[in-house]
Amino acid sequence: MLLTKKSCSPAPRSTCQNEMGDKKLKINPPLYLVGKKIFCWNCEEKMPAIALLAPNITAAEGEICILSDIQELPKDVYFFIKNRVPSFKMKYSKMAGHKYLGNTCPKCGLLSGEFFLHAEPGGPFFPVDENDAKFLYIREIPLTGSIYVTASVSTGCGDLILKNAKRLK
């Protein structure tokens, strides 16, 4: 498992290896659903795109993390998301070489890639400034305690999103 540290500017990204290996991530509340509308790369239809933001991952040493490449979620968390964004589903990615829960276009059914969504400065979940982050919405996912997920995480923009995204109830 790689913790990727990114700056919220087009500056070069740096990475650091964490101690989690392939183990599940322990996430303590709160956990947030973050989203916005994007255009499908294939059919250009407007579609929802979401990510999960976790301020309290045990192995992240206080960094606010954005989850991607999500391979496993607790059922109650998955159903909370699925009820709000039905197009968020398990799909196989040729690029990644495995299945993960991803943002799919409701019209054509194709997956929007994690790199575009999470790794390109100015991408949906890589805001470069407060104005970019204001185009996102954020909603707390109800948790009764800690959960375990299998996912990749990145850090560096979570604080910007948490402070500037539009809060929904």
Quick one: pLDDT band at residue 59, thresholds 50, 70, 90?
confident
Q: How confident is the model at residue 29 (pLDDT cuts 50, 70, 90)?
A: very high
Domain ranges of the chain: 2-167
67-104 pLDDT, tens digit per residue, is: 999 999 999 999 999 999 999 999 998 888 899 999 99
Torsion of CA 80, 58, 133, 43, to 10 degrees: -50
Q: How do 137-141 and 166-167 pair as beta strands? A: parallel
Q: Is the pTM of this model over 0.75?
A: yes
DSSP 19: S
Mean pLDDT of 143-154: 94
CA distance 154 to 7: 10
Residue 40 phi, psi (nearest 5) = -60, 135
